[in-house]
């Protein structure tokens, strides 16, 4: 109901004023918005300073119903749209920009000095996420082969990826760029994947920088790649191996020492046990044996 009322007021007001074609001009350069961010549609009055905005309306080309309308502080239509500052200029603002906002529009502005219609355009882009880098192989030998990878997602329209070494030399001409478009429920994006291959790399060129540019060649993200040297990794493994060998040797020596001490302790315990006193041999006694009878009766001594 409020929308009808506002448009009725605007339509009744228009006959009372005349076109501004001989007084002033309205200009709105092309607008480039960023997905999910606020976008300002820059518009301004030309050849006039003292002017007051009465009402505005915005509709897409080919549609009869206004997408948005505002008279003073009253708004109707898509509430994401609003006059940025009605006291200063007819510029509009879109909060939470969507891809559906792209297109051509007709903008109608009514002032106390007349009215003006202008066609304007809105393009929507999506910012790329910070790129992710990797190498293959993971451990690189100086003078050996290696491929450097850089991937960036969620950007739109398709951008590009450039490679630079530590001195700023651009190696992009030697890289391969793959672009994969996606459209999920109206949310468009183009995934970028770049591969820079060296048959014989000079590690002195590192670190390499992977820089992502959007479709307007404005930098969206950057990642600095540190390459892991295979020599450094081998030294690390060798150091770890030596440490393991030393620990194993100490454990073996310790085990032998403990075993030797245990054997010595057992030997000493065995030697320390008391012996039973010496005794005469026990002779088998048979009756009728004279020697044995004399020994039994104590008549002769054993030395006999």
pLDDT digits (tens, 9 = 90+) for 46-60: 988 889 999 999 999
**Residue whose token pair is 């194993």:** 248
Q: What percent of the chain has pLDDT over 90?
A: 61
Residue 161 lies inside a defined structural domain of this protein: yes
Residue 261 lies inside a defined structural domain of this protein: no
Q: Are residues 82 and 194 in the same domain?
A: no
- What's the rounded Cα separation, in Å, for the pair 94 and 96? 7
DSSP 56-101: EEEEETT-SS-SEEEETTEEEE-TTEEES-TTT---EEESS--GGG
Quote the pLDDT of residue 7: 43
Q: Are residues 13 and 118 in the same domain?
A: yes
pTM, to two decimals:
0.64
Instruction: Estimate to the nearest angstrom the gap between the alpha carbon of 260 and the chain centroid.
Output: 59
Checking if the pLDDT of 103 tops 70, the result is yes
Residue 299 lies inside a defined structural domain of this protein: no
Using CA atoms, how far residue 137 sits from 72, 226, 229, 230, in Å, is 65, 13, 10, 9
Checking if the pLDDT of 219 tops 50, the result is yes
Q: Are residues 155 and 200 in the same domain?
A: yes
Q: Are residues 168 and 202 in the same domain?
A: yes
Q: Are residues 139 and 100 in the same domain?
A: no
Give the pLDDT confidence of 183-200 residue by residue, as tens digits.
999 899 999 999 999 999
Quote the pLDDT of residue 29: 97
Q: Are residues 22 and 112 in the same domain?
A: yes
Give the pLDDT confidence of 266-300 residue by residue, as tens digits.
666 666 555 554 444 444 444 555 544 444 455 54
Quote the pLDDT of residue 260: 66
Quote the pLDDT of residue 95: 96
Give the pLDDT confidence of 20-50 residue by residue, as tens digits.
556 789 999 999 999 999 999 999 999 888 8
Quote the pLDDT of residue 235: 47
Cα-Cα-Cα-Cα dihedral of 17, 18, 19, 22, to 10°? -120
Q: Are residues 79 and 173 in the same domain?
A: no
What tokens were used for 35? Answer: 């997905």
Q: Are residues 103 and 152 in the same domain?
A: no
Q: Are residues 107 and 150 in the same domain?
A: no
Checking if the pLDDT of 174 tops 90, the result is yes
Residue 22 lies inside a defined structural domain of this protein: yes
Number of structural domains the chain divides into: 2
What's the CATH number where 87 sits?
2.60.40.10
Quote the pLDDT of residue 279: 43
Checking if the pLDDT of 240 tops 70, the result is no
Residue 295 lies inside a defined structural domain of this protein: no
- Domain span at 186: 132-226
Number of helices (H) and strands (E) in the chain: give both, helices first.
3, 20
> Of 97, 125, 153, which residue constitutes the final position of a domain?
125
The overall average pLDDT reported for the chain is 81
Quote the pLDDT of residue 85: 86
Q: Are residues 217 and 113 in the same domain?
A: no
Checking if the pLDDT of 9 tops 90, the result is no
Quote the pLDDT of residue 72: 83
Which among 32, 14, 41 is positioned nearest to 109, based on CA atoms? 14
Give the mean model confidence (pLDDT) for residues 56-82. 95
Instruction: Estimate to the nearest angstrom the gap between the alpha carbon of 224 and the chain centroid.
Output: 13
- The set of long-range contacts for 70-75, using a CB threshold of 8 Å and a minimum separation of 24, is 70/6, 71/6, 71/9, 71/10, 74/2, 74/6
Quote the pLDDT of residue 249: 54
Quote the pLDDT of residue 291: 47
Q: Are residues 218 and 202 in the same domain?
A: yes
Residue 245 lies inside a defined structural domain of this protein: no
Q: Are residues 22 and 119 in the same domain?
A: yes
Quote the pLDDT of residue 274: 54
Residue 43 lies inside a defined structural domain of this protein: yes
Give the pLDDT confidence of 127-140 residue by residue, as tens digits.
999 999 999 999 99
> Of 104, 125, 146, which residue constitutes the final position of a domain?
125
Residue 294 lies inside a defined structural domain of this protein: no
Give the mean model confidence (pLDDT) for residues 164-191. 96
> Of 72, 96, 125, which residue constitutes the final position of a domain?
125
- What's the rounded Cα separation, in Å, for the pair 55 and 6? 9
Quote the pLDDT of residue 1: 44
3-state secondary structure of 129: coil
What is the layout of strands, in order, in the sheet containing 175-184?
Answer: 132-136, 146-155, 187-198, 175-184
Quote the pLDDT of residue 228: 85
Checking if the pLDDT of 303 tops 60, the result is no
């Amino acid at each position: 109901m409020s929308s009808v009322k506002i448009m009725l007021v605007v339509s009744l007001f228009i006959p009372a004023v005349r076109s501004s074609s001989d007084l002033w001009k309205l200009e709105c350069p092309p607008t480039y918005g960023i997905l999910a961010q606020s976008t300002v549609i820059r518009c301004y009055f030309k050849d006039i300073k003292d002017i007051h905005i009465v009402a505005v309306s915005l509709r897409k080309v080919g549609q009869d119903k206004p997408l948005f309308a505002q008279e003073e502080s009253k708004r109707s239509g898509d509430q994401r749209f609003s006059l940025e500052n009605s006291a200063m200029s007819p510029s509009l603002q879109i909060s939470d920009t969507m891809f559906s906002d792209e297109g051509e529009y007709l903008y109608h502005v009514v002032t106390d000095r007349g009215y003006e219609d202008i066609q304007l355009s809105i393009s929507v882009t999506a910012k790329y996420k910070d790129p992710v880098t990797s190498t293959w192989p993971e451990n690189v030998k100086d003078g050996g082969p290696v491929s450097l990878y850089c991937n960036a997602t969620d950007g739109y329209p398709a951008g590009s990826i450039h490679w630079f070494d530590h001195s700023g030399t651009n190696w992009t001409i030697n890289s391969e760029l793959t672009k994969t478009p996606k459209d999920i429920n109206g949310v468009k994006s183009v995934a970028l994947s770049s591969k820079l291959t060296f048959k014989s790399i000079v590690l002195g060129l590192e670190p390499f920088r992977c820089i992502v540019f959007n479709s307007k060649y404005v930098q969206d993200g950057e990642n600095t790649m540190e390459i892991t040297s295979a020599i450094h990794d081998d030294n690390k493994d060798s150091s770890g191996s030596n440490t393991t060998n030393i620990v194993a040797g100490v454990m073996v020596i310790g085990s032998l020492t403990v075993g030797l001490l245990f054997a010595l302790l057992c030997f000493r315990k065995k030697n320390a046990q008391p012996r039973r006193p010496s005794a005469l041999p026990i002779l088998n006694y048979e009756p009728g044996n004279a020697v044995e009878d004399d020994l039994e009766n104590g008549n002769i001594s054993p030395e006999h």
